[in-house]
Amino acid sequence: MIDVTRAAELAARGSYGRLLALLSSRTHDIALAEDALAEAFARALSHWPTQGIPDNPDAWLLTTARNRLTDSQRRQLRFPTVNEIPDMLSPELADGSIPDRRLSLLMVCAHPAIAQDLHVPLMLQTVLGLEAKTIARLFLVSPVALSKRLVRAKAKIRDAGIPFALPGDDVLRERSTAILESLYALHAHDWLDPAENLGDEAFYLADLLGRLTADDAEALGLAALIAFSHSRARARIVDDMLVPTDEQDVMLWNDALIEYGKRKLHCAYEKSSVGRFQIEAAIESVHVARKETGSTDWLALNKLYVALLKIAPSVGSLVAQAVVTGRLHGPQAGLEALEAAETVTGPGYQPLWAARADLQARAGNHLAAVKSYDKAISLATNGPTISLLARKRAAEQDK
């Protein structure tokens, strides 16, 4: 016997975003579409066990949700609106597949008229069907405040006439960049607080975007970048302690994700349109190559960081390049590079102090290293990072 609950669950995970994108693209009312879809799923759970699972569960859910939308629109308008939303399966479903409007929905979520810090929560809620409460917990924000802001954002999307159609090329590029930035932020958030397990969501959305905009080299680059770093997820934290990339146990790295990343990066290179995410993915690819070669190619990393700093300077890559300099030209050169970096990062930047402590330790200046580790620890808020820094600090103190 087929497990009905499981079937509904799988349908939910696989098609939630697709169905919601389609339903909301007609009404522009995401909240209304969410309610209708929730009702359709609830009905599936009560009908399917007695009447059997339909041949095309997605189409069944879509039709049920559409009927529900029609009902509520009739109630709102008081007059019946005939033919606006068909009760029968529409012709576009004739071949059994649901048209994919998720790219338009992502564009709506990342619209510049919507506050930037709501882009990711909106994507997680509409495309992945995550509850506001869950999203709030992941980002450590007040659930009630976030729910209210999401409700207001959806009302704005409906009332301000934010278009659900795909924009023209120029705007498409700009909007794609906003989506990529959001997914990158989601990925970086998981990187900082991996206990929160947002990596799966970031990877799912990046993979989806890579498929939906297969011509966009940067979308492919981001999918590769997230796959590469996600491949090291199990090796990154061991016994609640962060493990630096070049000390990780390569046997814990996920080969399937590494292969996926290589494939996507290769496709991206073929578009001959280099960008920040491709370079970051290339940096990751150098790190994961250690699994095959047994060593890290610091020279290649240096070249990539020079390129990255030219295209997209950031405090993180500035410090990372100083670390690479230290490996290539000795700790003293690395420390000098950090001095220069500090004028940009300011003294309150934790990775700067962690890098400085490591280079001081390599230079044999154990006393200075201990002090720098203290500063780094004071600026760290994440448990596994603090554990790593404390372990390294203890090792220096013993010398």
Q: How many CB atoms are located within 10 Å of the residue 246 CB?
A: 12
What one-character DSSP code corresponds to residue 168?
P
Cα gap 34→259, rounded to integer Å: 36
Give CA separation, 176 vs 162, 166, 370, in Å.
16, 11, 45
* Nearest distance, CB of residue 216 and other proteins, angstroms: 32
Q: Is 96 an interacting residue with respect to other proteins (CB under 8 A)?
A: no
Which region, left, alpha or beta, applies to residue 132 given φ > 0 means left and ψ of -120 to 50 means alpha? alpha
Instruction: Mark the segment that binds other proteins (CB under 8 A) among 54-62, 68-76, 119-127, 372-380.
Output: 372-380
Of 10, 77, 113, 144, the one binding other proteins by CB under 8 A: 144
d(CA 207, CA 223): 5
Binding flag, residue 378, other proteins (CB under 8 A)? yes
Q: How far is the CB of 269 from other proteins (least distance, A)?
A: 38
The reply to whether 198 sits near other proteins by the rule CB under 8 A is no
127 forms part of the interface with other proteins (CB under 8 A): no
Q: How far is the CB of 271 from other proteins (least distance, A)?
A: 38
**Binding pattern for the stretch 328-367 against other proteins, x by CB under 8 A and - elsewhere:** -------------------xx-x-----------------
Q: Name the minimum Å distance from CB 139 to other proteins.
A: 8
Is 380 a binding residue for other proteins by CB under 8 A? The answer is yes
Q: What is d(CA 399, CA 396) in angstroms, rounded to the nearest whole number? A: 5
What does the block give as tokens for 239?
């016994």
> In the chain, how many H helices and how many E strands?
20, 2
Per CB under 8 A, 189 contacts other proteins: no
Report d(CA 118, CA 109) in Å as an integer.
8
Stretch that binds other proteins, among 151-159, 214-222, 231-239, 374-382 (CB under 8 A): 374-382
Q: Note whether 148 binds other proteins by CB under 8 A.
A: yes
The distance of Cα 310 from the centroid of its chain, to the nearest Å, equals 24
Q: Which residues contact other proteins (rule: CB under 8 A)?
A: 133, 136-137, 140-145, 148, 347-348, 350, 374-375, 378-383, 386
